[in-house]
Amino acid sequence: MGAWGQGSFENDEAMDWVAELETYADDGLLINALNSAIDQAEDYPEAPDCCIALAAAEVIAALLGKPADDCPNEVDAWIQERPAPSSSLIAKARQAAEVVLSNSELKDLWTESDALETWQASVEDLLSRLPY
């Protein structure tokens, strides 16, 4: 049975990605995850890519010292001894989250549920933790 909730880490795609993140020593996986959603912005970003992009954006927020309440221990461990993210990486995280929130398969899936407002509030909270 898969996990599915309104938080950025409350789905299988995000948690599988977090497990993969643990094997990376650089920002490559973060950048790829964010670019995946951004590159599909003109089309229709698919739900799995959106889930992963939101998780990556949450890692950026955690690197800024503003982790989500449900930030996994694996992310807390990964960010230790890492430098703060660059302004361009923060901007990329914001852009990816904005793409997911505005027009994506993930948003449409939440629109079809009774929890759209809760999910939107979760993404807006993430955006509030990513400065301009």
Query: CA geometry: angle at 67 spanning 65 and 70, to 5°?
Result: 160
- The ranges assigned to domains in the chain are 12-128
Q: Determine the average pLDDT of the residues in 47-51.
A: 97
Chain position carrying tokens 């599909």: 40
What was the pLDDT predicted at 2?
47
pLDDT at position 111 is: 94
Could you read off the pLDDT of 97-116 as tens digits, one per residue? Answer: 999 999 999 999 999 998 99
Q: Which long-range contacts (CB under 8 A, 24 or more apart) does 77-85 make?
A: 77/22, 78/21, 78/22, 85/27, 85/60
Q: Which amino acid is at 29?
A: L
Percent of the chain with pLDDT over 90: 92
Residue 1 has pLDDT above 50, yes or no: no
Q: How far apart are CA 59 and CA 72, in angstroms?
A: 10
Mean pLDDT across the chain: 94
Note the pLDDT tens digit of each residue in 60-94.
Answer: 999 999 999 999 999 999 999 899 999 999 999 99
Q: How far is CA 99 from the centre of its chain?
A: 11
Q: Considering Cα of 54, then 85, then 63, then 131, what sign does the dihedral take?
A: negative
Sign of CA dihedral 49, 127, 61, 72: negative
pTM: 0.95
User: Residues 104, 50: contact at Cβ < 8 Å?
Assistant: yes
pLDDT at 81: 84
